[in-house]
Structure 1
Amino acid sequence: MERELLERLLVGEDETSFAALAALRSGASYVVWDGATSAESLARVYERRLRHTRRRGIETSGLERAVQLLGQHDRPVRLGQIRAADGVWVFMLFLTDDGSALVACTGVRRTDK
């Protein structure tokens, strides 16, 4: 996926998408993987991650919202990732299976940086 298209998909109203877009525009690396995965199964995985990050006090952005949006999405999603240039934040992107729209976005602050 071209960087410019990904930037257009991240233009939204939520703080996490805005932060991911800012990271991308500041030279972050990114990848969007081929293939799609069940949004329902990803909602369960990220619900566990939400509990884990809360227990450990790991800073996240938009994780609870992403879990909710994935749980409501009834089609497969494609995964992407943006890694901030300084390595402090990593954003996971959940796109429609054709890559034409953003379903959800979440970020986690890396504690080893």
Structure 2
Amino acid sequence: MIWQIIAVGCGGLIGAMMRFEISRLLNRSVLPFGTLLVNSAGSFFIGWIAGLELSLPWTLFWATGVAGALTTYSTLMKEIWTYWIEGQKGRAAGYTLLTFGLGLSLAYIGYCL
């Protein structure tokens, strides 16, 4: 059990640092492209890992650790909510549809590879 926790923690360290840096660099424009990128890439990556059928330790490291820490549901919700309360309901809806549509599509493509 301890090795599973270590696998998730080590992967999570990598994913969290990647998310921080990507968001810092790309969340400065009209849309938070950093959040969109990390969530899209994470969706593809988790689909791909699931399709590979790796052993449990490697699945925990890559999918739960790296991809789990790379993606960010809470930041996505904050961004959507911010658009909504600022009266940008169209942008909130568009960003939501784009994020979830792209994420599902990329997870499917990753799994199929």
**Alignment TM-score > 0.5, same fold:** no
TM superposition score normalised by structure 1: 0.30
**Structure with greater helix percent:** 2
Q: Return the index of the structure with the highest Cα Rg.
A: 2
TM superposition score normalised by structure 2: 0.30
